[in-house]
Amino acid sequence: MNTTKILSVLFVITGFLIFSPNKVQAQANGNGGNLGLGVMLGEPTGISAKIWNNDRSAFAFGAAWSFGRNDALHLHGDYLLHTWLNDVEEGDLAFYYGVGGRIVLSDPDARAGIRVPFGLNYIIPDSQVDLFVEAVPILNLVPDTDFDGNGAIGIRYYF
């Protein structure tokens, strides 16, 4: 199965899950909507989006530029589960983990693989903003099987 087919299947499944009719207001402080847009800095650096399904699960997407071994466009999508931590005096803090896919478009070879993100998500009290930090082990499948990794810090504003 080629990379384009794999990516198409992932986006179709994601679309069905995102637009399910049972969405719940997910941002813990209640001030924002379910869609957050922002930036991520790290490897790669670019635009970050997050769509909450409920208070425990969300989809995260990224479109970014990788400054690593080869300059490349990096696209990814992840399904995330959140565990809220209770020992936070202000705001809301969650540990998250999940699974997703990525494609890296570079010369001469494109790469595709499976992502396993984990990180922390902090929702600033009385705002429509969250902060996150994540580490992402990656199993590349195309063109060769090998291991890689990403990491980022970021901020998103919720609509």
User: What's the pTM?
Assistant: 0.81
Q: What is the pLDDT of residues 93-142, one digit of tens each?
A: 999 999 999 999 987 789 999 999 999 999 999 999 999 999 999 999 99
Backbone angles phi, psi at 152, to 5 degrees: -160, 155
Look-up of token digits 């890689």: 148
* Cβ 119 vs Cβ 96: under 8 Å: yes
Q: What is the pLDDT of residues 37-63, one digit of tens each?
A: 999 999 999 999 999 999 999 999 999
Does the domain at residues 3-22+35-158 carry the CATH identifier 2.40.160.20? Answer: yes
Look-up of token digits 């719940």: 24
Q: What is the model's pLDDT at position 134?
A: 98
